[in-house]
Amino acid sequence: MGERAPLLDAIRSAPADDLPRLVYADWLDEFCHDDVDRATAEFIRTSCNGKIQQRIPRSASGWIKNNWLRLFPKWAERNSRTEMAPDATKFIGSVIRSKVYVPEYDTKTKRLACVELKLQRGFMTDCLIYTPKFKVILEPEIAAFHPLAKIIDIDEYQALLLESEAQAELRRR
């Protein structure tokens, strides 16, 4: 990872600050290895506008719709070899809900996995994988290009919801 790690650490340390993100985008422009780096730099610049907001800026939303697969090269490669249904990907604000082809563990068969990605200020922040058995396959792919992402499967998500509901119930008592 070289000089990339300290730049990402600076972003983690100051999540509300756009400056470390923009410095990272400059670094990517200068030392990019591939189109993922170029796409990440573009997305950072498009989505960092000096203020934190719940909704993604309109310019970033347009960029995501046109370029999101550039941020996920393995998914793009697998999906390009197979005809995807027009409704396979939905964009809801900063969330992308999509179906991606995932190779099975020991065969050349590919299965569709449903994923929900949340993209904010130049990075994926959350990834929900609806089919738990695919987390083992998708997690390293996601972590390689999206080191700030929190990756959970649907079982973990449901456990978190139950825990959150239990805590809320305790507070009400």
pLDDT tens profile 65-121 = 888 888 887 777 766 555 555 567 888 877 888 887 777 655 566 677 788 888 888
DSSP state of 106: S
| C-alpha 155: how far from chain center | 19
146/109: higher pLDDT = 146
Q: Three-state SS for 93?
A: coil
The first and second tokens of residue 47, run together, are: 């989505």
* pLDDT score at 19: 93
Interval 128-151 mean pLDDT: 85
* pLDDT score at 38: 92
* pLDDT score at 42: 92
Number of folded domains that form the chain: 1
Q: Which domain holds residue 128?
A: 4-172
Which residues are registered as beta bridge partners of 103? 110
* pLDDT score at 109: 66
Answer yes or no: are the C-beta atoms of 103 and 131 closer than 8 Å: no
* pLDDT score at 7: 92
* pLDDT score at 55: 64
Confidence check: pLDDT of 3 > 60 = yes
Closest CA to 47 of 35, 63, 31: 63
Interval 115-132 mean pLDDT: 87
Closest CA to 101 of 127, 119, 82, 73: 82
Sorted by sequence, the CB contacts under 8 Å of residue 105 that are 6+ apart come out as 137
